[in-house]
Amino acid sequence: MRRVAVTGLGVVSPLGNSASALYASASAGRSGIGLLQGPIAGRLVATLATGAFCGAEHFDAPKLRMLDRFAQFALVAARQALADAGHDLNQTDRRRAGVFIGTGMGGTLSNDEGYNTLYAEQSDRIRPFTVLLGMYNAAAAWIGIEHQLHGPNLTYSTACSSSAVAIGEGWQRVGRGELDLAIVGGAEAPLSFGSLKAWEALHTLASIDAKEPSASCKPFSKDRSGMVLGEGAAMLVLEPWDHALARGAPIHGEIRGYGLTTDAVHITRPSVEGQAAAMQAALRSAGLDASAIDAINAHGTGTPANDGVETAAIKAVFGARAPHIPISATKAMHGHLLGAAGALECVLSLVAMQHAVALPTMHLKTPDPDCDLDYVPNITRQGVEAKTMLSNSFAFGGTNAVLVLGAAPC
């Protein structure tokens, strides 16, 4: 395998619309979570994580009519990532450039709008581009079209691990020498009324914190009650390490390993064995022992079941070292971006390593005896010289994806 560098980062998120803005907000412990607004607020009991984004600032009217919100996020984040990487695509063999995108729900906003038009408004006509807006591969397709990339263009939908899978699969193609450039990541815009009601019916959403709604998601805390849905996108540019060095590209870090397992136990209930196996597979892929891991980005959704299982899985892999590894769970601030979560947290992990910090697990004020590891409570920890980090992504359906990340060169 060739060594693979991360040379570009792009972000649209509840904590800011660039990698630097995302990091600034997360390191300060700011929350992008708030109460639901608008006419449907009275019909839902939920908090959401949504940022400042206006598609009309990035696309003309004809193009905008063709793009669901999740695809808008993806295109903007991909543009940022390519600009950050400083890639001149005219000097690139575009047949050796690919796109690998994850999404859990695709164009759910457009589909929801179509159903509302048909069933609530009793219309016989819906938007002519509804199929194109709603299809899961729309984001990847549009990125390929916009940048004329003729290599593989693939979409992965494994629920909450989708974008971690996309990053890992793109990393393998570049590492094996099949591609010289890959745009990898994920996008999600799941905040339609129909989607929210479906999640509400599943009883996985957090109860609203009456004193502080922005603190409703409390990963690893004893009083945690569930997750908060968020929206956004994160994209990374991957290329061979020697190519990046030769052209003097910025190197934000590297992807060193990737583990993928399936619980095959239950459609929603997580498995200690499955999660631990994914972490071990990622370490084997990177050629590393567990002792090499300096920090962990936890999946940490804030649901009662997930956080206890993830704690047990980390203990199973790291043994006596587990209590001494700083672990961050950033969904407390940006919410759960479902299919885009793994990519957003991968970006945060890379930037945290660059700044030698461990990001905080916010709202962790009531420790859970069953979640007794070092979850970096409430305040960013300075001076964490992590050279190698795990980023965990676990999903409904049981697909577990774990990335091993390496720090940028000094």
DSSP string of 337-361?
A: -GGGHHHHHHHHHHHHHHTTEE--B
Classify 238 as helix, strand or coil: strand
The DSSP-derived string for 71-126 is: HHHHHHHHHHHHHHHT--GGGS-GGGEEEEEE-SSSSHHHHHHHHIIIIIS--S--
Report which secondary-structure segment, H or E, holds 408: none
The three-point CA angle 186-216-268 to 5° equals 55
Q: Look up the CATH architecture of domain 4-246.
A: 3-Layer(aba) Sandwich (3.40)
Q: Catalytic: which of 87, 336, 346, 363?
A: 336
Residue 66 near residue 96 (C-beta atoms within 8 A): no
For the question of residue 266 being annotated catalytic, the response is no
Strand 295-297 versus strand 327-328 pairing type: parallel
- What is the reported pLDDT for 37? 81
Q: What is the dihedral of CA 258, 346, 249, 145, to 10 degrees?
A: 90
The partner residues of 99 in beta bridges, in order of sequence, read 153, 183
Residue 296 near residue 211 (C-beta atoms within 8 A): no
Q: Which residues have a Cβ under 8 Å from the Cβ of 306 and sit 6 or more positions away?
A: 270, 299, 300, 394
Residues in the chain: 410
- What is the reported pLDDT for 178? 98
- What is the reported pLDDT for 142? 98
Domain 255-407 in this protein, CATH class: alpha beta
HSE-CB at 8 with a 13 A cutoff on CA atoms is 24
Q: Which residues have a Cβ under 8 Å from the Cβ of 36 and sit 6 or more positions away?
A: 44, 46, 47, 48, 196
For the question of residue 252 being annotated catalytic, the response is no
Q: Encoding tokens for residue 249?
A: 């590209």
Strand 381-382 versus strand 357-358 pairing type: antiparallel
Q: How far is CA 356 from the centre of its chain?
A: 21
- What is the reported pLDDT for 262? 98
Domain chopping of the chain, boundaries: 4-246, 255-407
Q: Which residues have a Cβ under 8 Å from the Cβ of 120 and sit 6 or more positions away?
A: none
- What is the reported pLDDT for 45? 77
**In angstroms, rounded to a whole number, what is the distance separating the alpha carbons of residues 187 and 396?**
17
* Buried b or exposed e, range 89-101, using 16+ CB within 10 angstroms: eeebebebbbbbb
Q: Catalytic: which of 299, 334, 346, 363?
A: 299
- What is the reported pLDDT for 38? 74
Task: Read off the DSSP letter of residue 55.
Answer: G
* Same fold yes or no, 4-246 and 255-407: yes
* Buried b or exposed e, range 260-289, using 16+ CB within 10 angstroms: bbebeeeeeebbbebbbbbbbbbbebbebe
Task: Give the pLDDT of the chain (410 residues) as one tens digit per residue.
Answer: 899 999 999 999 999 999 999 999 999 999 999 998 877 777 887 889 998 999 999 999 999 999 999 999 999 999 999 999 998 898 899 999 999 999 999 999 999 999 989 898 999 898 899 999 999 999 999 999 999 999 999 999 999 999 999 999 999 999 999 999 999 999 999 999 999 999 999 999 999 999 999 999 999 999 999 999 999 999 999 999 999 999 999 999 999 999 999 999 999 999 999 999 999 999 999 999 999 999 999 999 999 999 999 999 999 999 999 999 999 999 999 999 999 999 999 999 999 999 999 999 999 999 999 999 999 999 999 999 999 999 999 999 999 999 999 999 87
Residue 215 near residue 333 (C-beta atoms within 8 A): no
For the question of residue 299 being annotated catalytic, the response is yes
Give the dihedral sign, CA 170/174/178/183: positive
Residue 353 near residue 206 (C-beta atoms within 8 A): no
Report which secondary-structure segment, H or E, holds 402: strand 399-407
Taking Cα atoms as reference points, which of 346, 349, 293, 350 lies closest to residue 322?
293
Q: Catalytic: which of 147, 160, 363, 371?
A: 160
Q: Encoding tokens for residue 115?
A: 């159903």
- What is the reported pLDDT for 86? 96
